[in-house]
Amino acid sequence: MEAIKEKDAPKSNGFIALFVILLIAALDIYLFVNAAIDDVPIRMAYIIPVLLVDLILLGGLVVIQPNESRVLVLFGKYAGTIRESGFWWVNPFTTKRKVSLRIHNFISDKIKVNDVHGNPIEIAAVIVWRVIDSARATFDVQNYEQFVSIQSETAIRGIASQYAYDSSEHDKMSLVGNQHEVAEELKKYTQSRLEIAGIEIMETRISYLAYAPEIAQAMLRRQQAQAVVAARTKIVEGAVGMVDMALRSLSEQHIVELDEEKKATMVNNLLVALVSEVSAQPVINAGSLY
């Protein structure tokens, strides 16, 4: 199938054309009145056809609003597109199809899809689009608005299944942690699908994202457990670093000499004090360390 490329349609100034049409109509009426007064029926043979032609020419007038276009079809053949706003006259035998060039928003429904790990999630997105090729939007697809809707939802499903809902690995993208990057991927993916219809995707945004209700509670508990483990890991790392710093400072400044047993006892006490979830209660030893 040969792709149709948009081209400018031949057109004329509508005000000049309207003036000529009205002038012809006025002249024809004048001749008709004179023929009736003079009682010359033969003049009707050309007066009436001229009036019919004038009425046909009147059908070529068209008004184009800003951010609007008309696709012209002449006897089944694409004749061109008028994109410039104003008052124009075109071939009156052409069919004029209106195509809006304004910016549109497509807001998808909540779609249930499995992420890359197979977890069911619900996702919705906003697609901002507009027509940039009126001819392709008219002739290459059946209904370009419905085509945008179906292809956008397919793109959302495709992108959502490529990423995890949430990832604990910082080097991997996730739907929650990388929404801007995911939206850009969705924009490219949707644009590739809508190229054939002469549609430009201007922006995409994820408007809703959540686990499906049947696993929401279980995944919430898992996230809470992961958060606790991550927090405890940080606490332990910090405590070990502080104990190491304390032992090195005591050794370097020769404050006290500790053997391995004393070091083990000190490490144990410091870790308990630093890692414990409740405040440690110190016990003052007034006598010997042994």
Query: pLDDT of the chain along its 290 residues, tens only?
Result: 566 788 999 999 999 999 999 998 888 887 777 766 766 666 666 777 888 888 899 999 999 999 999 999 999 899 999 999 999 999 999 999 999 999 999 998 898 888 888 888 889 999 999 999 999 999 988 899 999 999 999 999 999 888 888 776 555 788 888 888 999 999 999 999 999 999 999 999 999 888 887 765 666 666 666 666 677 677 777 767 777 777 677 666 666 666 666 666 666 666 666 666 556 566 555 445 55
β-partners of residue 209 are 123
Count of structural domains, the chain: 3
- Do 230 and 253 reside in the same domain of the chain? yes
* Residue 1 within a domain: no
* Residue 134 within a domain: yes
* Residue 61 within a domain: yes
Residue found by looking up tokens 């910016």 in the block: 103
- Do 120 and 179 reside in the same domain of the chain? yes
- Do 206 and 227 reside in the same domain of the chain? no
* Residue 284 within a domain: no
- Do 207 and 239 reside in the same domain of the chain? no
Task: For residue 259, give Cα distances in angstroms to 110, 241, 273.
Answer: 65, 20, 21
For 166-189, give the DSSP string.
Answer: S-S-TTS-BTTTTHHHHHHHHHHH
β-partners of residue 91 are none
Name the token pair of 137: 């939007």
- Do 240 and 173 reside in the same domain of the chain? no
- What values do phi and psi take at 180, rounded to 5? -65, -45
Buried b (16+ CB within 10 A) or exposed e, 103-140: eeebebeebebebeeebbbbbbbbbebebebbbbbbbb
- Do 85 and 58 reside in the same domain of the chain? yes
CATH of the domain at 122: 3.30.479.30
Q: Which pairing describes strands 86-89 and 12-13: parallel, antiparallel, or unpaired?
A: antiparallel
Q: What is the pTM of this model?
A: 0.68
- Do 207 and 227 reside in the same domain of the chain? no
Give the whole-angstrom CA distance, residue 51 versus residue 36: 16
Can you give the residue range of the structural domain that contains 176?
Answer: 104-211
* Residue 2 within a domain: no
Q: What share of the chain is helix, strand, coil (3-state, %, to 5)?
A: 50, 20, 30
